[in-house]
Chains A and B, each alone.
Chain A
Amino acid sequence: MEKFTGKTIFGQVAIGKIFFYSKEKQQVTRRKIDDAEAEIKTYEAAKEKAIEELGSLYEKALKEVGEVNAQIFEVHQMMLEDEDYNDSVHNLITTQGVNADYAVAVTGDNFSKMFAEMEDEYFKARSADVKDISERVIRILNGGMDMGSLKESVIVVANDLAPSETVQLDKEKLLGFVTELGSSNSHTAILARTMNIPALIGVKISEEWNGKMGIIDGANGMFIVDPDEETLEKYKELLKEEEKARALLEQLKGKDSVTTSGKHIKLYANIGNVSDLASVISGGAQGIGLFRSEFLYLESDDFPSEEVQFAKYKQVAETMGEKKVIIRTLDIGADKQVDYFNLPKEDNPAMGYRAIRICLKQTDIFKTQLRALFRASAFGNIAIMYPMIISVDEVLKIKEIAEQVKKELDAEGIQYGDVEQGIMIETPAAAMISDLLAPHVDFFSVGTNDLTQYTLAIDRQNAKLDDIYDAHHEAILRMIGMVIENAHKNGIWAGICGELGADTTITKRLVDMGIDELSVSPSMLLRVKKAIREA
C-alpha cells in the first residue's frame, strides 16, 4: 500500500481499478512534401472533421453538464477557424513545404506559448485550449483513434486530461480521475465538479499503477494505491455513507429550502478553509454563512500579508460567483492560539483578549484584513461579519475603520464591491441590546455555541458539565427570538451559524420564530434542508 497526496477538485471517495491513460504519442515528424496544394486540402479536411467532432462534443456536454460548461467546445470550434492560426498552418505548408501535421504542431506550439506568456490567469489557461485543438487535428491527420470507451469501471490516472477528453469519458464507467498536471481553475476541474466526479490533481503518477486497486480520498486530498484489506474496508464503508447521502441529495436536488408555509430560508454553509469549497458546492448551499478566516493566521508563521489574504478571499468569492460569502474577521484567542500574536496566558481566555477586542486594539492587523476583504469583494459577493460584539460603541469604531479603509482604496483607485457588514450575536450583552445594534448593521448571525456557554455560565471544555449543558435552554431560545424580532423591526435579516442551526430537532421552532438563514457544516446541508421543508 502506498499513499500519495494531491489537491482535491471534488472531495469524495472513489474505489476501483486504476486505468493508466497515456495519450498515444502523436508522432509528428517533419517531412518534405511535393504538392503543397494537396497538403492544404488534407489539412482543411481534417480541420472540418475536427470542427464536426467538436460540434457533437458540444451537444453531448450540453446534455450532461449544461450550457456554461459546453461553451468550451464552441470556443474550440471558433479557435480552429481563427484566421491567424490557419494562415500560419497554410504558410508553413506552402513556404517550407512541410507536412500538414507538422505545420499544425508548430502552429499549435507557437500560439499556446503566446497565451502561456500572458499575465492574466484566465488567458494563460487558454494555452491548454490551443494545444487541445491542435492535438485533435493532428490525431485526425494521423488517422488516430478517439479516446476509446472504457470496458469496466475505473479510476483514470493521467498526466493531464483535456476538457474534451474528460467529457468523452463514459460517465457510467468513470469512478474518478487523478492527474499530475492541471489547475483547479481548468475546464477539466470545473467539469469534474459539475459532473460530481471525485478528482485529484497534482499527484505524482506512475504508469506501474495500471490495473492495481486505487482509492481516491477526496476529503483528505489523498490517493491510495494497492490498499490493504483494512483500509479498503474502511473506505468501502465511507463510500456507502456517501452514496446514501448522494441518494438523499438526488431527491432534494434543485428543490428549495422552503417551509411548508412557503417561507424561503437561506441555507448556507460554514467552512474553515478554501479546500472545503467543493463540499459546499456539492451540498447545494446557497452561499457561505460563516467563513472562518482563522486558518490564514493558524497556517502562517507570521501575520499573513494583505496579498496572501486577498488571493484566498478572491478565490472563494470567484468560486462562489454570485452566491453570498460571509467572511468572519479573525477570531483568534480563547481556544485558538497563535504564537506570533504573543498573547499573554490568561486564566479565563474565553472571556479574555480575543477576536474583535484584538482587532480594535491592534488596528494594523485589522486594517490589513479589511483591505484584503474589500479588495476581494470586487470579484464576487462578499459580506463581512465581526465576532464577539458587546456594545454599540464597538460597532461604531469598526465602521469608522472600515470607512477609512474604503477611503484609502478610493484614493488608490482600487475597486471594491458593495459589502454587507454584519455582526455575530454570541454574547448575552449583544442579544439584550440587539435593538440598539440593529440600526448600525446589515445582518445578525447568532453564534449559539458561545452564546450558550456565556448565558448558561458553562465552560464548553468542561466535560463534567455536559449533562447540564442544554443547547435548547429556554433562555437561549428566547434570546434568539428577541434577536430575530429586533432584526426584522429594523429591516435586516437574522440567521444562525452556530451548532444549533444544524440541530434538526429544533429547526421547526427556529422557523416559527422567523429565522431567515441557517448556516451549517457542509455535511449537514441536506439534513437541514429536509427539516426546513418539513417545518
Chain B
Amino acid sequence: MKEFKYVITDEVGIHARPAGNLSKLCKGFSSKVTISANGQSAEATKLMAVMNLGAKKETEITISVEGDDEEKAAAEVEAFLKENL
C-alpha cells in the first residue's frame, strides 16, 4: 500500500469538477484509491462521497492506494492533485 498526504490549495476546496475528474482518473486503475479528510474517508471513484468530505482550502488530506498498479496510480493521483487542487 502507498500512502501520502496533500494540502488543498484550491480556493473552494475539492469541488465538483475536479472531484469528477479525479473519479474518472481513478476508475482507470485496478488499485483502490481512498481519500481521508476531516476524520472521514471516501473512495476516490465516488464523486459525491469525495465532495461530502468537505475538504476546503488548507485541509490536509491523506491518500492511500492499494492494488497491483499502486505505484503508477499514486504518482498519477499526486500529479492530478498538484495540478488541479
Contact = CB atoms under 8 A, between A and B. Distances in A.
In this complex, the interface size class of chain B, counting residues with CB under 8 Å from chain A, is 20 to 34
B48 A74 contact: no
A119 interface: yes
B56 to A, nearest CB: 6
Interface string B12-40: 11011101100110000000000000000
A127 to B, nearest CB: 11
A122 B46 contact: no
Interface string A59-88: 000000000000100110011011111000
A58 interface: no
B17 A84 contact: no
Contacts of B47: 78-79, 81-83
B40 to A, nearest CB: 12
B61 to A, nearest CB: 15
Given A114-B52, A120-B56, A83 B46 contact: yes
A129 B48 CA distance: 11
B46 A84 contact: yes
A71 B52 CA distance: 19
B64 to A, nearest CB: 18
Contacts of B52: 114-115, 118, 123
Interface string A76-106: 0011011111000000000000000000000
B16 A126 contact: yes
A78 B54 CA distance: 18
B11 interface: yes
Contacts of A126: 16, 51
Interface in A386-444: 415
Contact of A82 (B15, B17, B48): B48
A78 B45 contact: no
A122 B15 contact: yes
A78 B51 CA distance: 12
A111 interface: yes
A122 B12 contact: yes
A243 to B, nearest CB: 36
B13 A79 contact: no
B20 A120 contact: no
A340 to B, nearest CB: 35
B58 interface: yes
B49 interface: yes
Interface of B: 11-13, 15-17, 19-20, 23-24, 43, 45-49, 51-52, 54, 56, 58
Interface of A: 71, 74-75, 78-79, 81-85, 111, 114-115, 118-120, 122-123, 126, 129-130, 379, 415
11 contacts: A75-B17, A78-B17, A78-B19, A78-B47, A114-B52, A118-B54, A119-B54, A122-B12, A122-B13, A123-B13, A123-B52
Those 9 A-B pairs whose CB atoms lie nearest each other, nearest first: A78-B20, A75-B16, A82-B47, A82-B48, A83-B46, A84-B46, A122-B12, A118-B54, A75-B17
Given A78-B47, A115-B51, 20 more contacts: A75-B16, A75-B20, A78-B16, A78-B17, A78-B20, A78-B23, A81-B47, A83-B46, A83-B47, A84-B48, A114-B48, A114-B52, A119-B54, A120-B13, A120-B56, A122-B15, A123-B13, A123-B54, A129-B16, A415-B58
